[in-house]
Each structure stands twice: as C-alpha cells, then as structure tokens.
C-alpha cells in the first residue's frame, strides 16, 4: 500500500482519490472555463414529402419540416485563456492610468511580469508532465497546445496518479492554479457583464457576438474587444442581475454569481441570512448528490441591496 503526499492511503498509485480529484479540478480550471449556460435552439429540418401509393380516404398535407431542439453551450474562458488575455491586453494597451498617480506604472509592470512568468511556468509544467505521462504508457501525447495537454491529463487521472512523481506534479499544479487565480483577480477588469450579443455578420448571416464583456469598476461604458460594440455598464449589469434573479442556486453559486456581477456577497453571509430565516429554502437540484438546499438569487440580491442602501 502506498501513501499519498497528504498521508492518506493511495492504493497502487501515488495519489489518493481526494488528491486526484483536486489535481483534475485544477487542470480543468486551467484548460476549460466551464459551462456558463446552455441554450436551446429550435432547428427546422426539412422532411422529404411522403408519397403514399395506397388510396386514402382523406388527403393530408404532409409536413415539410420538423422541429428539433439543438443544445448550444456557452462556456467561460479558462484560467489559462484569462491569463493570456491579461498579458495580451497589457502588451497592446499598456497602462490605463494617466500617469498622474505615483506608483501606478510600477504596479502595472510588476503585474505584467507576474502574468508572463506564470504563463511560462504553467507551459513548462504542463508540457513536461503531459509528455512524460504519455510516454510512460507508450503513448504519444494527443495534444499540441498547453490547454489541450492539460485537458488530456485531466481526462486520464489514472495514468497521471500512477506516475511515481505525481505528488510533485499535484503540488506544482495546485500552486500554479492558485497563482493564476490571484493574478487574474488583481486584474481591475473584474465585473462580468455577460456575452456581448451585438448583431454581427457571421458567414454572411446575421448572428450575435459571443465575446465575454468585462468592465473595469467605475466605468460607465465598455467596448467589446471583439466587435467594437459599446455598452452602457449599469444598464447591462441590471439586465444581467434581473436575468439571474429567478434562478435557484446554492449559496456558493449565488456568492460567485453576484460577486461577479458587482454585488459583493460571501457564502457565509448567505448562510447567515438562511440561519436568521430571511431566505426560503428550495429543494435541491435533482443532480446534486450532496442534496444542498437552493435559494432564489433575487431574494439574496434584495437583502444585499437593502443593506447597501442603509450603509450608503
Ligand atoms: Zn492525498
Ligand atoms: Zn461584441
């Protein structure tokens, strides 16, 4: 029986199931951003006309099309993409500060260096390990990019956990993921304003721009970096908040969603409201194996808004 780096039994591999789960979660966060929402599109499929040879009593006009539901998944950018974004943005636009604030320029430079160093470190660790894990099992790495290599490792936890140095790898990945979160969080462009949605021409047809919009705090308007559309920040924020109001979610999800939309609220604040009977519990999501109660996002927002008004 092997022991994991954390002291728990690891059976025949190097990492225990909990540590495997953690490293897979981190790799996934780096490689893929997760699902933002799933949209259902109705698609019309033409149906060839049916010719019946038998005499029929009544002439029925056959349907010429049927409607099928198509699922579209909108995803968030991965940590890795956000990191690269952060880098690229600084490269192209430089500092947003006017230069009158002393120390601001130095901060930008530090910040930039941190993002660039971190990207290099992530590239190195993921590449080395993915190639090594693949070779050890007589395979060729089926990924050419760092994100794909991270996704491949996440999809092959057993191969990864069997590596004799998997403990080191797990440590490195956990540290790098935390640093990435920190570097991106320090980005002032923090408030998520949803997908752009401006009408754009895609393949000669009218579609909508799918770029994610993030606004620096305190800016009244924001411009989409992909299509150039200009949006009014408070209006978009209200619209997004209203759109999530009727959703049911667990306190961690609500905290994340509202904080992202510029309404700072922690999990423990929400549990506090629950404790004081200010929120009505709703049944757990059918797929939630932990059976956690859910709450209406709008109810939490109403409490937070009322508190903010009292303070301000
Ligand atoms: Zn462990
Ligand atoms: Zn756009």
* 295 CA distance to ligand 2 middle (Å): 32
Q: Distance between CA atoms of 47 and 42, rounded to whole angstroms?
A: 15
From the CA of 198, which ligand is nearest? 2
> Which helix (H) or strand (E) is 74 found in, with range?
strand 65-75
From the CA of 200, which ligand is nearest? 2
Model pLDDT for residues 88-141, shown as the tens digit of each residue: 654 433 334 333 333 444 444 555 677 888 999 999 999 999 999 999 988 888
* Token duo for residue 263: 């309404």
Ligand 2 (ion): residues with CB under 5 Å are 196, 198, 209, 211, 224, 226-227, 229
pLDDT of residue 53: 59
Q: Distance between CA atoms of 90 and 104, rounded to whole angstroms?
A: 13
Model pLDDT for residues 53-83, shown as the tens digit of each residue: 555 555 555 566 677 766 666 666 788 887 8
* 40 CA distance to ligand 1 middle (Å): 40
Model pLDDT for residues 258-278, shown as the tens digit of each residue: 887 778 899 999 999 999 999
pLDDT of residue 110: 54
* 284 CA distance to ligand 1 middle (Å): 30
* 228 CA distance to ligand 2 middle (Å): 6
Q: Distance between CA atoms of 35 and 44, rounded to whole angstroms?
A: 26
The answer to whether 206 and 197 are in contact (CB under 8 A) is no
The residues pairing with 192 across neighbouring beta strands, listed in sequence order, are 214
Q: How confident is residue 225, by pLDDT bands cut at 50, 70 and 90?
A: confident
Q: Distance between CA atoms of 151 and 142, rounded to whole angstroms?
A: 11
Residue 223 C-alpha from the chain's centroid = 21
* 86 CA distance to ligand 2 middle (Å): 18
Q: Distance between CA atoms of 73 and 76, rounded to whole angstroms?
A: 10
Q: Distance between CA atoms of 73 and 3, rounded to whole angstroms?
A: 40
* 6 CA distance to ligand 2 middle (Å): 46
Q: How far apart are the first and last CA of the chain?
A: 60
Instruction: Break the chain into its structural domains and give their ranges.
Output: 17-33+78-96+105-185, 189-243, 246-312
The residue whose two tokens read 């019946």 is 52
pLDDT of residue 157: 92
* Token duo for residue 139: 């395979």
* Token duo for residue 34: 């997760």
* 248 CA distance to ligand 1 middle (Å): 34
DSSP assignment of 185-217 equals HTSS--EEEEE---EEEETTEEEE---EEEE-T
* 7 CA distance to ligand 1 middle (Å): 6
Q: Is the pLDDT of residue 312 over 60?
A: no
pLDDT of residue 232: 87
The CA R_g of the chain, rounded to the nearest whole Å, is: 25
Task: Report the residue count for the chain.
Answer: 312
Q: Is the pLDDT of residue 146 over 60?
A: yes
Looking at residue 170, the DSSP 8-state letter turns out to be: H
Write the burial class of residue 220 (CB in 10 Å: 0-12 exposed, 13-18 middle, 19+ buried).
exposed
pLDDT of residue 168: 93
Model pLDDT for residues 160-214, shown as the tens digit of each residue: 998 999 999 999 999 999 888 877 754 544 577 777 888 887 777 888 887 777 7
- Using DSSP bridges, classify how beta strands 199-202 and 205-208 pair: parallel, antiparallel or unpaired: antiparallel
Looking at residue 280, the DSSP 8-state letter turns out to be: -
* 247 CA distance to ligand 2 middle (Å): 26
Q: For residue 121, count other CB atoms closer than 10 A to its CB.
A: 15
Determine if the pTM surpasses 0.75. no
Closest CA to 137 of 115, 121, 161: 161
Report residue 178: phi and psi, to 5°: -60, -45
Mean pLDDT of the chain: 78
* 66 CA distance to ligand 2 middle (Å): 32
* 3 CA distance to ligand 1 middle (Å): 8
């Amino acid at each position: 029986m092997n022991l994991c780096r954390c002291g728990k039994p690891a059976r025949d591999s190097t990492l225990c199931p909990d540590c495997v789960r953690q490293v897979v979660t981190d790799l996934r966060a780096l490689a893929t951003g997760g699902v933002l929402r799933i949209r259902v599109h109705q698609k019309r499929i033409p149906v060839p006309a049916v010719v019946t040879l038998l005499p029929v009593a009544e002439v029925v006009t056959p349907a010429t099309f049927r409607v099928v539901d198509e699922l579209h998944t909108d995803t968030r950018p991965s940590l890795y993409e956000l990191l690269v974004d952060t880098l690229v943005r600084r490269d192209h636009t430089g500092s947003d500060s006017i230069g009158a604030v002393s120390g601001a320029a130095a901060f930008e430079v530090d910040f930039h260096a941190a993002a660039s160093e971190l990207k290099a470190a992530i590239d190195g660790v993921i590449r080395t390990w993915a190639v090594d894990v693949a070779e050890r099992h007589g395979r060729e790495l089926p990924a050419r990019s760092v994100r794909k290599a991270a996704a491949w490792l996440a999809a092959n936890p057993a191969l990864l956990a069997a590596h004799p140095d998997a403990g080191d790898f797990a440590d490195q990945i956990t540290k790098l993921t935390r640093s990435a979160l920190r570097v991106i969080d320090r980005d002032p462009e923090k408030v998520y304003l949803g997908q752009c949605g401006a009408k754009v021409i895609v393949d000669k047809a009218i579609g909508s721009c799918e770029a994610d919009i993030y606004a620096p705090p305190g800016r009244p308007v924001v411009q989409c970096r992909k299509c150039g559309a200009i949006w009014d920040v408070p209006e978009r924020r209200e619209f997004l908040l209203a759109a999530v109001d009727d959703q049911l979610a667990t306190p961690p999800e609500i905290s994340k969603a509202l904080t992202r939309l510029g309404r700072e609220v922690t999990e423990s604040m929400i549990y506090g409201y629950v404790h004081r009977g200010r929120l009505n519990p709703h049944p757990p999501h059918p797929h939630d194996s932990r059976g956690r109660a859910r709450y209406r996002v709008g109810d939490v927002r109403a409490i937070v808004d009322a508190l903010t008004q009292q303070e301000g």
